[in-house]
Chain A
């Protein structure tokens, strides 16, 4: 498939455990975003990468949250010492995000998300 993929789709963790969530963006997409969607809420921005550079991490709720994209493609969101309030769906999105010939590509394509439940 050519879409954004995320794994695992579901993750159950005991409070205090560390978790790692993976995102495979669309091949060639420069920009990658992570969002957190709490139950009954809209997605909220966590962090943004352009290639391997993390340009914005203003949405990360605490220093327990860490994201990386070392080779500019696959990204991992890591949550250390998980808490119950971390329970949410974590969405990854990617966009081509390059201006080419006067056309800017701005649409973000979303993955199916990882549903994290912290017990």
Chain B
């Protein structure tokens, strides 16, 4: 079975500060991991994904995440927050192929303070 835990349903950071959104997963098989962003009344937009290979993954809008197997974590970071980063962020896990469902976390709402 697979599961995802996102610590912190709400995170606030000042503009220009580091963004850190936490994601821990549980998986009995090698996981594929994703971060999605969702703006109000919009669908899910893929930020980045880890499948195999390099454990530090760079995504769009300056975000990156590191897959740490020993810690079963896939935290999302961005060195400097921008006002436009305010949104809901979801971490998801799945098995290797595209034939498996995604298991999503409950989401973290990021607020960026001016």
Contact = CB atoms under 8 A, between A and B. Distances in A.
Interface in B41-89: 41-46, 49, 51
B33 to A, nearest CB: 11
Contact of B104 (A31, A42, A56, A107): A42
Interface in A41-91: 41-45, 48, 50, 55-56, 59, 91
Given A41-B107, A42-B90, A42-B104, A95 B44 contact: no
Given A106-B32, A106-B51, A43 B44 contact: yes
B94 interface: yes
A118 interface: no
A31 B102 contact: no
B43 to A, nearest CB: 4
Interface string B9-41: 000000000000000000000001010100001
Contacts of B96: 104, 106
Give chain B's interface residue range (CB within 8 Å of chain A): 20 to 34
Contacts of A44: 104
B107 A91 contact: no
A108 interface: yes
A55 B106 CA distance: 25
A104 B44 contact: no
B42 A95 contact: no
A91 B101 CA distance: 13
A96 B99 CA distance: 9
A45 B3 CA distance: 12
B101 A48 contact: yes
Given A43-B44, A91-B44, A111-B43, A106 B94 contact: yes
Counting from the closest, the 10 A-B pairs by CB-CB distance are: A97-B98, A95-B98, A42-B104, A112-B43, A45-B101, A106-B98, A110-B44, A110-B43, A104-B97, A42-B106
Given A42-B105, A44-B104, 7 more contacts: A42-B107, A43-B104, A97-B98, A104-B97, A106-B96, A106-B98, A110-B45
Interface of B: 4, 32, 34, 36, 41-46, 49, 51, 90, 92, 94, 96-107
